[in-house]
A and B are shown apart, each in its own frame.
Chain A
Amino acid sequence: MARITMREAISQALWEEMERDPKVFIMGEEVGVWGGTYAVTRGFYDHFGPDRVRDTPISEAAIVGAAIGAALVGLRPVAEIMTINFAFVAMDHIVNEAAKFHYMFGGQMVVPLVIRTVSGGGRQLGATHSQTPDAIFAHFPGLKVVAPGTPADAKGLLKAAIRCDDPVFFIEHATLYQLRGEVPEGDFTIPIGQSKVQREGRDVTIVTYSKMLDTSLKAAEELTREGIEVEVVDLRTLRPLDMKPVLESVKKTNRAVIVEEGWKSYGVGAEVAARIYEEAFDFLDAPVKRVAQVEVPLPYNRTLEQMALPQVKDVVQAVREVL
């Protein structure tokens, strides 16, 4: 086990997969000469060359569209969309093409594509560059949506995504790249579509993913001092959604708080809460509670922005409220 950052873990996954399989290549804005806007692909261009580390014009639709085309003919492109906010201009290719082809053409087309992108607020980038619209992408059958919260999960899941024959929308979090964690040495994958209990507890279940895993674990530590033992279930994959560990946990604790960074309305929490109500209603001893971003476009001002984003104290408060 090595203790490395999320950035290093993702970078390792890409590097190892490119070394392993010549069909894997990277394309996106500033992935090559620049080394990646989040420095994830630093050194790749020199090592793998311009054909496998392809700098693109600022053309998100063309990036995703061309990656789909290359995937159709047997390559394994990893297309990078610099931030999830720019994915909207490639939305058609993500949800109308990548997610549909295998089904719509009766199984004859396969799109082994990974779209890596970066979600999340908290860096004073203003309303258009700070969104966490992960749930939108998880709405579409045919697309797999992965959003890891630890370096080990990021590495294992990204490697699995690259080897996966389905299109995978891989969401990294802008403020998690420095997060350190234990990552197994060498080659390993983590199956897409498996939630995981990241912390055991008996009193309340927190369901979360990505950045909010870190926030939730900190809240759980605080609550331990009050004698409250929180179980934290990390979804890791938003689609296909694995509810089994969530339901098992809720059946044990009888209480659930869902923590997500995106807006509450129509969000991940809404989906998870509905599934809990549908599948574990008789086990609930309190209403399911959601912690999410307040319903405003994120402001630039630091204080206001932090007020809008879910904080550790909000999670602590929510847990107390369901007890």
Chain B
Amino acid sequence: MDKKEYLDLYYQMVVIRRLEERAAELYQQGKIGGFLHLYIGQEAVSTGIISVRRPEDRVITAYRDHGVAINCGVSAKEVMAELLGKATGCSKGKGGSMHLADVSKNFWGGHAIVGAHLPIAAGLALGDVYQNQKAVTICMFGDGATNIGFFHEALNLSKVWNLPVLWVCENNKYGMGTAVERASAVPEIALKADAYGMKRDQVDGMDVIKVREVAARMLEEIRSGSGPQFLEVVTYRFRGHSMGDPERYRTSDEVRKWQQDDPIGVYHNYLLAQGIATEDELQKTIREAEEEVEEAVRFAEASPEPAPEDLYKHVYVSETC
């Protein structure tokens, strides 16, 4: 990695952080509706993994998808416009926070039914195998999804058909408000991969460099025909499950303890300690990220609402066929 790439990872994480902080404000102002699941605290996970994907590698994730979208190359403008339900949003204002996608960036969406996108990820990989394309599908999901049937059907099928999927469980300790230990018979989530004879690993999700290294290795092995692999990334979300979460299920001490490992702070220190960047350079990067986010907010607010006739558009590709 050269210096530019190191700084770019930093830049992406700050964009995600600032974009979500602004989104929270806009939500409170009533400009964003529905659910808003913030990724704050988990930025290193998708940033690290997606930084080592190739353009042909596909990414699909759950509803906590703002960071993944940014990492996949969806612009902050299109993400913010989608959050505001504008016609210029990446899903034309019809998807909202949970349903960001940009097929042209090989980002196959945020998916809001827990676990439902896992079989679909297997299908994306099947499509590549069928067409002899050397690509990996990266499927991200939370710890909660590992308790639903879709998870087991999808992992099983991926192994039976030897599909090139990197299953990435973002274990942020809680499925909504239920701790992993209270929901999963096997709290060490990575062990679940053993049931499907799948190679697995676990990594510290607050360290973008570690995440990146492990992901790079696994993706390479999958490309070489290892079949699906399973990566558990241990992380923590600093905000509630969604906006308005009373957070009765955890103490503020616990949150504070994890915040000491803020992935942006950890990486900031790493870059300084390794002599990769100076404080000034990082501050400049932060300012640039903030400017991009502010520009995105201005763009989103100034963008038009979807036209009334868009209500009926895209129900079918064609009514008659």
Contacts and interface: CB of A to CB of B under 8 A. Distances in A.
Given A59-B157, A61-B153, A108-B91, 6 more contacts: A66-B119, A72-B123, A77-B123, A93-B119, A106-B90, A192-B321
Interface stretch (B27-35, B126-134, B171-179): B126-134
Interface string B288-321: 0000000000000000000000000111111111
Contact of A61 (B108, B124, B150): B150
A160 B321 CA distance: 6
A170 to B, nearest CB: 13
A298 interface: no
Interface residues of B, number: 49
Interface size class of A (residues with CB under 8 A): 35 or more
Contacts of B90: 106
B315 A56 contact: no
18 contacts: A61-B149, A62-B153, A65-B119, A65-B122, A66-B123, A66-B154, A66-B157, A67-B123, A69-B120, A72-B108, A75-B130, A92-B150, A96-B113, A105-B91, A105-B95, A106-B91, A106-B92, A160-B321
Given A56-B157, A93-B116, A105-B99, A70 B150 contact: no
B99 A102 contact: no
B123 A70 contact: yes
A166 B124 CA distance: 17
B101 interface: yes
B127 A166 contact: no
Contacts of A2: none
A92 B127 contact: no
**Chain A interface SS verdict (over half):** mixed
Given A56-B157, A109-B101, A165-B318, A65 B150 contact: yes
Contact of B123 (A68, A107, A240): A68
A105 B318 contact: no
A74 B128 CA distance: 10
B79 to A, nearest CB: 13
Contacts of A144: 316
Contact of A73 (B94, B101, B128, B313): B128
A5 B305 CA distance: 53
B298 to A, nearest CB: 22
A142 interface: yes
B156 A59 contact: yes
A109 B120 CA distance: 13
A1 interface: no
Interface string A188-206: 0001110000000000000
A164 B317 CA distance: 9
B242 to A, nearest CB: 19
Residue of A69, A144, A166, A240 ringed by the most chain B CB atoms within 10 A: A69
Nearest to B89: A106
B316 A102 contact: yes
Contacts of B113: 92, 96-97
A68 B95 CA distance: 18
A57 B321 CA distance: 31
A65 B154 contact: yes
B261 interface: no
